Structure 1
Amino acid sequence: MAELKSDVRNIVGTTTITELKIPVPWGHIAAKTWGDSSCFPILCLHGEVDNAATFDRLIPLLPQQFYYMSIDLPGHGHSSHYLPGIPYKFIDYVAVLRRIVDHFSWAKINILGHDLGGLLGLFFAAVYPDKIMKLIVFDVIHPVLPRQHLINHIKLNNEHLLSIETDEAVPQVFSYQTLYEKLCSWRAKDSSVAAIDASISRNAEQVADGSYLLTMDQRVRYINYPFFDDRQFHIILKNLRCELLIFTAKGIARNQNILPVTSLLYIFRYKCARFEHHIIEGNCDIHLNFPTRLVPIMASFLQEIRSSL
């Protein structure tokens, strides 16, 4: 089945922006694209409690010889929700990426990922190393949870999910200010106005009285991650073969949850076809707040062709 294209098309410079709906068994994956679909694809993956709009300020500044597709992960943005009672699992999101690649019959892709999206990119590149050419990630979530916290984490996660099912029985309608404050509390503490506005733009709809209906599935606040120990995580990452570019924002407020790149340098340097790590001034949404700080490095990384590939 072909993807469904909306009638909404915008032009930024010479780049066409198109909204798509990619069919999946439970509904559709929503996406917005930039550029010519015949060009080499770059799949763009957002972070927690976010959506495809997170890359709106970055992608127009990047090299235009690529086809950029920014998706709303299931439960986020304009994408379909899972059925009631079904939790969102990180590993299922990896399968969603494979569905998208297969839908478009892409032999190889590049991936651009922030936060949760960066971790998804790393896992997809490790599980399907033959599918990924280049991977660019910002502030990747660290999936290793200390063993002493595991039981309590599972308990709290389950209780939150059950509570949300009760809450969502009633339409979640808020003033802009209340919704803004809620999203701030659900995201990183140092989220910017631009980041929250981007989240609201696809995770809520304005209704007749000027208030906002939350359309994002609140269950995505409690995604089930496969919390590995360091040894297991390293085994997975040792299957990486792609070129890898990692950005870490210097001023991020939750450094304890960000991938400890220093402990993985050996793996990245000796397993990846190419590896770069850059520490950039900014916060957790540097790609949205200060995209020009990233663009020269990203453009060089994307455009350079290595003979080994």
Structure 2
Amino acid sequence: MAPSFESFTVLSQAVAVQVRQRNPKGTPAVLFLHGWLDHSHSFDWMLEHLPDAWQLVLLDFRGMGRSEHAPLGAQYSFPDYLLDVEAVLDDLRLNEVHLVGHSLGGIVSTAYAAVRPARIKSLTLIESLGPSGGGPEKARERLQGFLDDSHRPPHRKRYGTMEEAAARLRESNPTLTEAASLHLAKHGTESYEGGYAFRFDPRHRRRFGHAYDEAQWLAISSAVTCPVQLIHGSQGYVLSDTQASARKAALRIARPLTLSGGHHVHMEQPEAVARAIEYFIRGALERAAG
């Protein structure tokens, strides 16, 4: 029987972040970071295929999943996610870890690996090659959107059944399978005023006042020193060839792995993605032992 997960919270700048951990004394340690408005349970099916001996750690970013929302009057920003990662690693006293990030989680993983290179031993990106901040000419428009959104009151939409909530997820992400959407809805909603509502803080839908333009993101990516693996879904998100090539070159990604599936390919092909992660991390460990 595979080891079970324990759940607990870690304070990240006074915000309680939900953490799940399996085999705390295992090795190597692998931290999984989920996508925007998702939660750590998006990795559940994939984790079943990873070695029992490994220490697996998952967190819900602040304002998502089972983590606490930011205080009233506060806003979310991209660096907040780096604070969450650092708080969890510090609390668990993990000085060396392998990162696996899906979508937003991959963007956070890349940025964290760039600024904490000694701490990150390998980086697996699932459907994630960086943000879409646009060029510097977008800066004024972005600030304007940030101010406009700050006046929108948070709204939590209610769904009569779990199936309705799952259907809403498929509207936003048409490649998501019915089984995957139900799993995400089951772990991402709570009973609310006679129905169900997603637990994520609706303030996450507001636009950030700042985003990295292409030159900034390439500089951050170029600072990553650990081995990097990229896993794509054949029907996943697509960047322009020029942009994708530049970003892969900055991260020194030689051969991305493309699997049949969409943006949540790790939920559609859990065993194949787990196998790729295990092979890649074992290779990184062997090269380090060298």
In the TM superposition, what is the alpha-carbon distance from 1:207 to its structure 2 partner? 5.7
In the TM superposition, what is the alpha-carbon distance from 1:148 to its structure 2 partner? 4.4
| Structure 1, 242-251 or 295-304: larger mean CA deviation | 295-304
Distance 2:240 2:112 in 1: 20
Distance 1:17 1:150 in 2: 43
Given that residues 22 and 30 in structure 1 are in contact (C-alpha distance below 8 angstroms), is that contact kept between their aligned partners in structure 2? yes
Q: 2:76 aligns to what SS in structure 1? A: coil
1:234/1:225 Cα in 2 relative to 1: closer, same or farther (>3 Å)?
Answer: farther
| Structure 1, 293-302 or 142-151: larger mean CA deviation | 142-151
User: Aligned to 2:258, which of 256, 279, 290?
Assistant: 279
Task: Say whether 1:139 aligns with 2:127.
Answer: yes
Q: How does 1:278-297 map to 2 (within 5 A)?
A: 278-297=257-276
Given that residues 189 and 197 in structure 2 are in contact (C-alpha distance below 8 angstroms), is that contact kept between their aligned partners in structure 1? yes
1:39/1:307 Cα in 2 relative to 1: closer, same or farther (>3 Å)?
Answer: closer
Distance 1:149 1:133 in 2: 35
Distance 2:103 2:241 in 1: 8
1:192/1:222 Cα in 2 relative to 1: closer, same or farther (>3 Å)?
Answer: farther
Distance 1:19 1:303 in 2: 27
Given that residues 135 and 214 in structure 2 are in contact (C-alpha distance below 8 angstroms), is that contact kept between their aligned partners in structure 1? no
Distance 1:77 1:258 in 2: 34
In the TM superposition, what is the alpha-carbon distance from 1:98 to its structure 2 partner? 1.1
Structure 1 match to 2:64: 76
Q: 1:206 aligns to what SS in structure 2? A: strand
Structure 2 match to 1:29: 17
Structure 1 match to 2:230: 246
Task: Say whether 1:302 aligns with 2:288.
Answer: no
What is the TM-score normalised by the length of structure 1?
A: 0.82
In the TM superposition, what is the alpha-carbon distance from 1:76 to its structure 2 partner? 0.5
User: Aligned to 2:151, which of 155, 162, 166?
Assistant: 162
Structure 1 match to 2:166: 180
In the TM superposition, what is the alpha-carbon distance from 1:204 to its structure 2 partner? 1.4
Given that residues 28 and 80 in structure 1 are in contact (C-alpha distance below 8 angstroms), is that contact kept between their aligned partners in structure 2? yes
1:258/1:266 Cα in 2 relative to 1: closer, same or farther (>3 Å)?
Answer: closer
The one-character-per-residue Cα deviations of 1:5-60 (angstroms, maximum 9, x if unpaired) are xxxxxxxx322122221233434111222334443321110001100110000011
CA RMSD for the aligned pairs? 2.6
Task: Say whether 1:262 aligns with 2:245.
Answer: yes
Kindly provide the amino acid, as one letter, of the partner of residue 232 in structure 2: T
Structure 2 match to 1:228: 212
Q: 1:159 aligns to what SS in structure 2? A: helix
| Structure 1, 63-72 or 195-204: larger mean CA deviation | 195-204
1:245/1:225 Cα in 2 relative to 1: closer, same or farther (>3 Å)?
Answer: farther
Task: Say whether 1:194 aligns with 2:174.
Answer: no
1:111/1:147 Cα in 2 relative to 1: closer, same or farther (>3 Å)?
Answer: same
User: Aligned to 1:40, which of 28, 34, 37?
Assistant: 28
Structure 1 match to 2:201: 217
The one-character-per-residue Cα deviations of 1:167-188 (angstroms, maximum 9, x if unpaired) are 36xxx53212543344445x43
Distance 2:53 2:44 in 1: 17
Distance 1:127 1:226 in 2: 19
The one-character-per-residue Cα deviations of 1:238-264 (angstroms, maximum 9, x if unpaired) are 211111111111212x41489944223
Structure 2 match to 1:8: none
Kindly provide the amino acid, as one letter, of the partner of residue 266 in structure 1: A
Distance 1:226 1:47 in 2: 19
Structure 2 match to 1:111: 99
Instruction: Looking at secondary structure, tell me which structure has more strand per residue.
Output: 1
In the TM superposition, what is the alpha-carbon distance from 1:228 to its structure 2 partner? 2.4
What is the TM-score normalised by the length of structure 2?
A: 0.87
Kindly provide the amino acid, as one letter, of the partner of residue 90 in structure 2: D
Residue correspondences, number: 286
In the TM superposition, what is the alpha-carbon distance from 1:163 to its structure 2 partner? 1.7
Structure 2: 5+ residue runs without aligned partners? none
Q: 2:286 aligns to what SS in structure 1? A: coil
